[in-house]
């Protein structure tokens, strides 16, 4: 979650209470100040106690001599609590910012003091700098709507189930390999009783029982994956013809699952403004190194959304297969003249393709040479 947001309202010349939340499982640290040069005030409340938060902010107004018409600006780090705290603070009339924790500057000393109190104090001082107009202090997370956040569960659950399915298949292959046997492609009924070892003998009883239990788990995973596939298909069928997910699903090589993941992970609701923002969020961007006369490229950053990275590379390979006449595929074949360049080129193609699909889903401009599915 590293997409930056546009600067929001707030001025250090107005009566403003700045509040930084340092969140933990059992308690929250609140560091508050009224601006530059004012020593922050730190209080502790029980985690989730919004009533205590409201009460302490009222006490801070009196402590810092702010009027009743003051505005409250706050920040918290994106983490395990998701975005419910952000929505709760917005409901209290607070202008809240969700910060990407990886973008917060830290001391480079080998051993630095690290406590919740110190983190809260650092956050509130950085918040004042941001509201004063200083750029590059941190990166903020673009918060999805409650509906968009809930919709992500379907595609993420499916991805987790597919990973479990692959892991279980590989485990079964490994168990059989220790006996010189192979996992049959066609597996019906009690197939493990028909598998023979290297000595043309039946598998040991213990292994057969283990395979039987694994086969039960495998069948359950396949059933659940099929259920989620039907859910995604039904959602796309019910979508408006001009919706992003409907448009993406019509592109040959993208498919229902690919379109669902792209939309769920924020291709639309993150409101990218240009291709650079998409590349930065994806993480497939160059990382230069220049110091004095030493200059070299450190490769791609890989600091993006891992789910979007995985699906973009998969879609890139599908694109090469199903869109052979497109401009992107022709570029890939012209570039990838060796095996090494194929590995490099597919990452570049994934970035180019995601930008093209974003442009198509938002403006309707079909990628050059791409073929759409028949209606």
What is the reported pLDDT for 6? Answer: 44
Q: Which fold has domain 16-131?
A: Nucleotidyltransferase; domain 5 (3.30.420)
* Whether the Cβ atoms of residue 45 and residue 124 lie closer than 8 Å to each other: no
User: What dihedral do alpha carbons 285, 347, 344, 169 form, nearest 10°?
Assistant: 130
Q: Residue 300: which pLDDT band, with cuts at 50, 70 and 90?
A: confident
Helical (H) or strand (E) element with 216: helix 205-238
| Contacts of range 48-55, beta carbons closer than 8 Å, 24 or more positions apart | 50/88, 50/92, 53/28, 53/92, 54/92
Count other Cβ atoms within 10 Å, centred on residue 106.
Answer: 9
pTM listed for this prediction: 0.83
Helices (H), 28-71: 50-63
Residue 302 CA to residue 309 CA, distance in Å, equals 9
Q: Residue 5: which pLDDT band, with cuts at 50, 70 and 90?
A: very low
Copy the structure tokens of residue 369: 């040479």
* Whether the Cβ atoms of residue 116 and residue 53 lie closer than 8 Å to each other: no
Q: Which pLDDT tens digit goes with each residue over 157-202?
A: 999 999 999 999 999 999 999 999 999 999 999 999 999 999 999 9
Residue 97 CA to residue 85 CA, distance in Å, equals 11
C-alpha angle with apex 29: 24 to 32, nearest 5 degrees? 150
* Whether the Cβ atoms of residue 75 and residue 16 lie closer than 8 Å to each other: no
What does the DSSP assignment read for 116-154?
HHHHHHHHHHHHHHHHTT-SSS--BPPPPPHHHHHHHHH
């Amino acid at each position: 979650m590293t997409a930056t947001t546009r600067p929001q309202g707030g001025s250090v010349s107005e009566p403003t209470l700045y509040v930084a939340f340092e969140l933990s499982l059992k308690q929250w640290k609140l560091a508050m100040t009224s601006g530059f040069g004012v020593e922050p005030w730190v209080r502790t409340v029980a985690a989730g106690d919004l009533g205590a938060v409201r009460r302490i902010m009222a006490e801070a107004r009196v402590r810092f001599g702010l009027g009743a018409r003051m505005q409250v600006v706050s920040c918290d780090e994106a983490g395990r609590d998701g975005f419910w705290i952000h929505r709760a603070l917005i409901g209290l009339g607070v202008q809240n910012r969700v910060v990407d924790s990886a973008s917060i500057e830290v001391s480079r000393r080998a051993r630095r003091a690290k406590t919740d109190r110190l983190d809260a104090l650092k956050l509130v001082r950085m918040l004042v700098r941001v509201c004063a107009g200083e750029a590059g202090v941190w990166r903020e997370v673009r918060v999805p709507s409650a509906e968009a956040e809930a919709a992500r569960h379907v595609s993420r659950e499916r991805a987790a189930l597919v990973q479990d399915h692959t892991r279980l298949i590989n485990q079964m292959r490994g168990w059989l390999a220790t006996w010189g046997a192979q996992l049959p492609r066609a597996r019906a009924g009690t197939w493990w009783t028909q598998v023979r070892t290297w000595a043309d003998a039946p598998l040991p009883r213990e292994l057969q029982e283990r395979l039987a239990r694994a086969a039960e788990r495998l069948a359950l995973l396949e059933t659940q994956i099929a259920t989620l596939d039907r859910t995604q298909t039904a959602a796309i069928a019910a979508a408006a013809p001009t919706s992003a997910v409907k448009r993406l699903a019509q592109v040959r090589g993208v498919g229902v699952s690919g379109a669902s993941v792209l939309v769920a992970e924020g291709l639309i609701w993150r409101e990218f403004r240009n291709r650079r923002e998409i590349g930065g969020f994806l993480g497939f961007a160059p990382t230069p190194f220049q110091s004095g006369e030493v200059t070299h490229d450190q490769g791609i950053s890989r600091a993006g959304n891992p789910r979007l990275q995985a699906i973009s590379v998969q879609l890139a390979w599908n694109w090469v297969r199903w869109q052979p006449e497109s401009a992107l595929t022709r570029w890939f074949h012209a570039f990838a003249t060796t095996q090494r360049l194929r590995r490099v080129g597919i990452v570049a193609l994934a970035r180019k393709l995601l930008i093209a699909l974003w442009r198509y889903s938002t403006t309707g401009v079909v990628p050059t040479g791409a073929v759409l599915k028949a209606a």
